[in-house]
Amino acid sequence: TLCCFQVIRCRAAVAWAVGKPLSVEEVEVAPPKAREVRVKIVSAGICCTDNHVLGGFFPNLEFPIIPGHEGAGIVESIGEGVTFVKPGDKVIPLCIPQCGECSFCLNPDSNFCIKSHLCEPQNLMPDKTSRFTCKGKQIHHFLWASTFAEYTVMPEYAVARIDAATPLEKVCVLGCAFPTGYGAAINTAKVKPGSTCAIFGLGGVGLSVVIGCKVAGASRIIAIDINKDKFAKAKELGATDCINPKDLTKPIQEVLTEMTGYGVDYSFEAIGNKDTLIAALAACNMNTGVCVVIGEVPAGALVSFDPMLLLTGRTWKGTPLGGWKMRDSIPKLVTGYLEKKFNPDLLITHTLPIAEVNKGFELLRGGKR
């Protein structure tokens, strides 16, 4: 079935410039071109990465832009040559695409794709044009997802088809926050049963790390945040200890080392703060410890550290979206959710209409999510 080649007018939250609140506008969404898909977004999550967009953390983004990269929706129409999905399919947009053709996609040990934003900006569709206009102006895409629009267009290889029984209002977090944190524990760190783990930052990603460590069989899961209101949910998800660094008289890495003997087996930084990056590295076992970097620091930020922290044997590694090959893995994660193998529903703190999107960002910045 080919698309009906009609422009759709709908609402979208547009970022007109860095540092400005989002503006809910009527936008025109062009039909998909060849190998593109137009999706009706049913639910979208607000991620810290979207807040970084508004703050100008990413210098290669172009404004005006429609942010949002966590979402779930239904295929409305498809362009010529699309075979992976059809109208009516439930899908999750992929903020790291999986083209299936590049050297990264063909490498079984990689979940990266040469078409992702870190290699080539995804401000426009692959043909270097936009499918969004507003007030006569071209509006840029964000990671080919732009889930803060009621309808969005993306390449076929940037969507994953999911089970028809999936509740779309719940699974938008499976587009970024949950797979990133859960996969950081399961895929990147490869947490072993009986191990000790420390998670710095208890937002949606950090709490997903807690879930991953629990599923992997960690015996001690230490959750760290300066907001004590996060602790009850962390414990509900599997944390055995909760620490507020503000209550300590020593650096957190020293406290963690004292608690565990020689440091934790695995540490995870889910904030994007230069100081906690070093603390997380220093907190893990000096020889066999693994520290996983998840949080995004501002573009161009430099971190100074003592190389001896690595020379003794520690491993320091990053993880894009938890190491999942997204188009292959998201449907399997959705199946795991439907089978109640894990419960990311607890990551959802508020449900708001698109008209209140700025309130959502206020809640995020205030630590209320």
> Per-domain residue ranges for the chain?
98-128, 178-322
Q: What is the 8-class DSSP label of residue 144?
A: T
Per-residue tokens: 56: 């100008």
Q: Are strands 90-93 and 159-161 parallel, antiparallel or unpaired?
A: antiparallel
pTM confidence score: 0.94
Q: pLDDT tens, position by position, for the chain (369 residues)? A: 444 579 999 999 999 999 999 999 999 999 999 999 999 999 999 988 888 889 888 878 899 999 999 999 999 999 999 999 999 999 999 999 999 999 999 999 999 999 998 888 889 999 999 999 999 999 999 999 999 999 999 999 999 999 999 999 999 999 999 999 999 999 999 999 999 999 999 999 999 999 999 999 999 999 999 999 999 999 999 999 999 999 999 999 999 999 999 999 999 999 999 999 999 999 999 999 999 999 988 777 888 999 999 999 999 999 999 999 999 999 999 999 999 999 888 888 899 999 999 999 999 888 765
Longest dimension (CA), the chain: 65
Q: Do residues 49 and 69 make contact, with C-beta atoms less than 8 angstroms apart?
A: yes
Q: What is the 8-class DSSP label of residue 317?
A: E
- Separation between Cα atoms, residue 175 and residue 42, nearest integer Å: 13
Q: What dotted CATH number matches 178-322? A: 3.40.50.720
- Separation between Cα atoms, residue 245 and residue 152, nearest integer Å: 42
Residue 360, CB-side half-sphere exposure with 13 Å CA sphere: 21
- Separation between Cα atoms, residue 121 and residue 77, nearest integer Å: 25
